[in-house]
Amino acid sequence: MYDLIIIGAGPAAMSAAIYASRREMKTLVIGKEIGGQMIWASEIENYPGFKNIASFDLIMNLKEQVEALGVEIKMADIKEIKKENDVFFVSDGAQSFQAKTVILALGLLPRKLGIPKELELNGKGISYCANCDGPFYKGKVAAVAGGGNAALDAAEVLSKIASKVYLIHRNEKFKAFNVLVDEVKKRENIELVLNAEIQSLVGENKLEQIVVQQNGEKKTIITDALFVEIGRIASTDLVSELVERDERNQIIIDNVCATKTPGLFACGDVTPVKYKQITVAVGQGTIAALSAYEYLQLKAEK
């Protein structure tokens, strides 16, 4: 029986594990891959205390810190979470674990283009985070795929860094705030490539070209980077009966990261938090762990 099981192994989960262990809670972290969405970034320049740090190094630092505190970490894909008689049962299909509290730090998955070479060139010109990887393309040419707020925000940010930015969108109109659309249209180094779909990626060791189909014709765009900003997916069907979700399937929480089920908490990008950043996830992980500890303390007093 664990005091706490944390589902997920990204920065929110690791932060929660650190604070839980410091409250002497018997804690288990279960995740598919340590690092969460940080694995999609090559280097990180906006984490306090580091001028810049390779994402792999930050992930390993977090793992070593958590393990040094005595927290168990298991790599598994959770298939079922249920609560019976005030106890949570967590199963990966082969093993079952029990806990008094659970924290969901499931993160989000970037929606991909689904075309050849996309995964092969990830980290070699293909990125899913302009805030993370944008600075590495200072003075270079970059492209952004998407037409929502995230895509236009990425284009606006990159326009201050890159010499040229192509904004590729499959439609004529954007699904973004008007003020953001107006700002992007003002930028002289942003070229709009509308009614266009990305067909293929060209490059061996790094991205060199993007081939798009625009108005029935093929067009080649020479670029150093492509930032894919076509949305992120919250995979939360696993806990659909235990939590309330918004229209994007994100888990709704209160100001202490609690869900509608007593003893079940959520934190990080899988919640409706506006800014999906590592530092925000770390802060929420802290809140969730302290809230889980307080929940157990109040139960013990009763």
Q: What is the 3-state secondary structure (H, E, C) of 213-282?
A: EECCEEEEEECCEEEECCCEECCCHHHCCCCCECCCCCECCCCCCECCCCCEEECHHHCCCCCCCHHHHH
- The residue behind tokens 């995964």 is 119
Task: Return the bridge partners of 90, or none.
Answer: 81, 97
Cα–Cα dist 89/264, whole Å: 12
For the chain, the farthest-separated pair of C-alpha atoms sits apart, in whole angstroms, at 70
Q: Which residues, including other chains, have CB under 8 Å from residue 204's CB and lie 6 or more apart?
A: none
Contact 236, 249 (CB under 8 A): yes
Contact 128, 105 (CB under 8 A): no
Contact 285, 12 (CB under 8 A): yes
**Which ranges of the chain would DSSP assign to H, the alpha helix?**
11-22, 55-68, 130-133, 149-159, 178-186, 278-301
CB count within 10 Å of CB 105 equals 31
Q: What is the pLDDT of residue 105?
A: 98
Contact 133, 160 (CB under 8 A): no
SS3 category, 268: helix
Q: What is the pLDDT of residue 196?
A: 96
Cα–Cα dist 31/13, whole Å: 9
Cα–Cα dist 281/288, whole Å: 10
- Per-residue confidence of the chain (302 residues) as pLDDT tens digits? 999 999 999 999 999 999 999 999 999 999 998 998 887 666 787 899 999 888 889 999 999 999 999 999 999 999 999 999 999 999 999 999 999 999 999 999 888 999 999 999 998 999 988 877 898 999 999 999 999 988 998 999 899 999 999 999 999 999 988 999 999 999 999 999 999 999 999 999 999 999 999 998 999 999 999 999 998 899 999 999 999 999 999 999 999 999 999 999 999 999 999 888 899 999 999 999 999 999 999 999 98
Query: What is the Cα Rg of the chain in Å?
Result: 21
Q: What is the pLDDT of residue 40?
A: 66
Tokens of 64: 């070593």
Contact 269, 108 (CB under 8 A): yes
Contact 2, 103 (CB under 8 A): no
Whole-prediction pTM: 0.74
Over the stretch 187-206, which tens digit does the pLDDT of each residue have?
999 999 999 999 999 999 99
Cα–Cα dist 298/277, whole Å: 32
Tokens of 257: 């990261």
DSSP code per residue over 115-130 = -TTTTTTBTTTEES-H
Q: What is the pLDDT of residue 192?
A: 97
Q: What domains lie within the chain, and their CATH numbers?
A: 2-108+234-301 (3.50.50.60), 111-228 (3.50.50.60)
Give, in order, the Cα–Cα distances in Å from 138 to each of 94, 165, 178, 261: 48, 11, 27, 47
Q: What is the pLDDT of residue 55?
A: 84
Give, in order, the Cα–Cα distances in Å from 29 to each of 14, 34, 97, 261, 276: 8, 10, 11, 20, 21
CA 211 to chain centroid, in Å, comes to 27
Query: Quick one: which of 36, 42, 48, 44 has its CA closest to 12?
Result: 36
